[in-house]
Amino acid sequence: NAGVMQNPRHLVRRRGQEARLRCSPMKGHSHVYWYRQLPEEGLKFMVYLQKENIIDESGMPKERFSAEFPKEGPSILRIQQVVRGDSAAYFCASSPGWQLYEQYFGPGTRLTVT
């Protein structure tokens, strides 16, 4: 059973460009979470999605950031017009249910904005 897949693993973007991060959850998991981690910091919750629905996006910046989890295909975290402060590791996690289920994390995408 393949784990959570994320790609790309490393992404370099210039200021003003768009960044697209992909996450394929574990087989059988319909709950996907995105987190951001700055160096030496904990993980900050961004958004929680189920298939085709955004359940909670309270942790996501109101502008430039969006997420989707279509019926077919991976979940996408999209950052438009990136700025240097967006440089971070972005982790996706999946679970078979909500709250009382452990979350399985992907290897992360390290985004660097130059």
Partner 1 sequence: GQQVMQIPQYQHVQEGEDFTTYCNSSTTLSNIQWYKQRPGGHPVFLIQLVKSGEVKKQKRLTFQFGEAKKNSSLHITATQTTDVGTYFCAGIPGGGADGLTFGKGTHLIIQP
Piece of the chain touching partner 1 by CB under 8 A; list 10-18, 40-48, 62-70, 72-80: 40-48
User: From the CB of 59, what's the least distance to partner 1, in Å?
Assistant: 6
Contact residues for 1 (Cβ-Cβ < 8 A; gap 6+)? 26, 27
Q: Does 99 bind partner 1 (CB under 8 A)?
A: yes
Residue 43 zone, left/alpha/beta (φ > 0; ψ -120 to 50; rest): beta
User: From the CB of 48, what's the least distance to partner 1, in Å?
Assistant: 5
- Report CA torsion sign: 30, 79, 105, 2: positive
Provide the mask over 3-32, with x wherever binding to partner 1 is found by CB under 8 A and - wherever it is not.
------------------------------
Helices (DSSP H) in 1-113: which residue ranges?
none
Contacting positions for partner 1 (CB under 8 A): 33, 35, 40-48, 55-56, 58-59, 91, 93, 98-100, 102-108
